[in-house]
Chains A and B, each alone.
Chain A
C-alpha cells in the first residue's frame, strides 16, 4: 500500500472515531493539521496571536459540529471552511472597528536563500521596509483576493488544490489571482 493510501486510511479512521466523540482521535487530527490551520489563518488575518486563537477556535468548533464530519472527505477541507469563515468575520469586524495593524508584529519575512536575502546584508532595513509594504498592500486586498494569493504564494498550492479547497472552478482561482496581483502591483507602485 502506498504511503498516501496509508495516510488517507489512517485519517479516515481518525475522523470516524472523532465523529463518534473520541477526543484522543480528534487530538491526533489537531496535531496533524495545527500548523497548516495556523498558517492559513496567519495569511488571512496577519497577526500571530489572532491566527493562533482563530485556528484553535476552528478546531474546537469542528469537534462540536463533529456530527457533520464525513470520514470519506479530507478533514482539512472541512476544517479550512471553518478557519476561513472565522478569519473573514474577524477581519470584517476589525475593519468595521477600524483597528489598524500598524503596531502588530510582522507576519511576513524574507525567505532564507532568496535572491534578495542572499545579497548585501546592509540592505536588511530596505528589505524589511519592502516586507512591510507588501503586508500593507495585501491587507488592502479583498478577502477573496487575499485568500487565493496566500494559498498560492505562501502555502504553495497548485490551482487544482486551491479550487478543491475553496469549492470554486480553476478559472475563478486564476481570475482572482490576477486581480490580487494587479492590485498588489498598484499598491507597490514605485517599489517594483
Chain B
C-alpha cells in the first residue's frame, strides 16, 4: 500500500477527491473516483462544493511585497546577526562583573562582625537561590532546546 492509500473508504474517497481537484490522480484512480461518485451522489455534491472553494482560492494570490523590501532584506538579517553577537558579549560581561561584585560582597559580609548571623545567612540564601535559579533556567534553555529543536512544531 502506497503512502497515499488508506483502508477507510470514506478517507479514500476524500483523498481521491483532493487528487481529482488538484490534477494529481494516478493511473487508475480517475476510474475509481468516478465509480465512487456514481455510487454516492452525496460525494458528488461535496466535490462540486469543494471545486467552488478551489476556484475561489485559485483565483487569488499572496499580495506582492514592495520591491524595495528585497534591497534591504540581507542588511536587516545581517544586523540581527551582529546584534546577536552584541547580546552575547553584553551578557558575558555582565555575568563576569556581577560575579566579581557578588564575590567581594560575600567576602565583606562574612568579615563584618557587626551584622547579626541570621541576616548574613538570609543574604547568602538569597544569593545562592538566585544563582541556582539562573543556572536552572540557562540549563533548560541550552540542553532541552538542543534535544528538542522542533518541540513546538506540530506535525
Contact = CB atoms under 8 A, between A and B. Distances in A.
Interface of A: 23, 27, 30-31, 34-35, 38-39, 42-43, 48, 52, 56-57, 59-60, 63-65, 68, 81, 84-85, 88-89, 105-111, 114-117, 130-131, 134, 143-144, 149, 152-154, 158-159, 163, 166-171, 174-175, 177-178, 181-182, 184-185, 188, 192
B59 A48 contact: no
Contacts of A131: 60
Interface string B5-16: 110000100110
Nearest to A35: B70
Grouping DSSP codes into helix (H, G, I), strand (E, B) and loop, the B interface class, with mixed when no group exceeds half, is helix
Given A42-B63, A181-B21, 7 more contacts: A30-B74, A35-B65, A63-B77, A108-B60, A111-B59, A130-B56, A192-B52
A136 to B, nearest CB: 13
B92 to A, nearest CB: 16
Interface of B: 2-6, 11, 14-15, 17-19, 21-22, 24, 46, 49-50, 52-54, 56-65, 69-70, 73-74, 76-78, 80-81, 84, 149-150, 152-155
* Most chain B beta carbons < 10 A, residue from A34, A144, A167, A181: A181
A111 to B, nearest CB: 5
B24 A134 contact: no
A158 B80 contact: no
A181 B14 CA distance: 11
B49 A23 contact: no
A185 B49 contact: yes
Given A84-B153, A170-B3, A170-B4, A184 B57 contact: yes
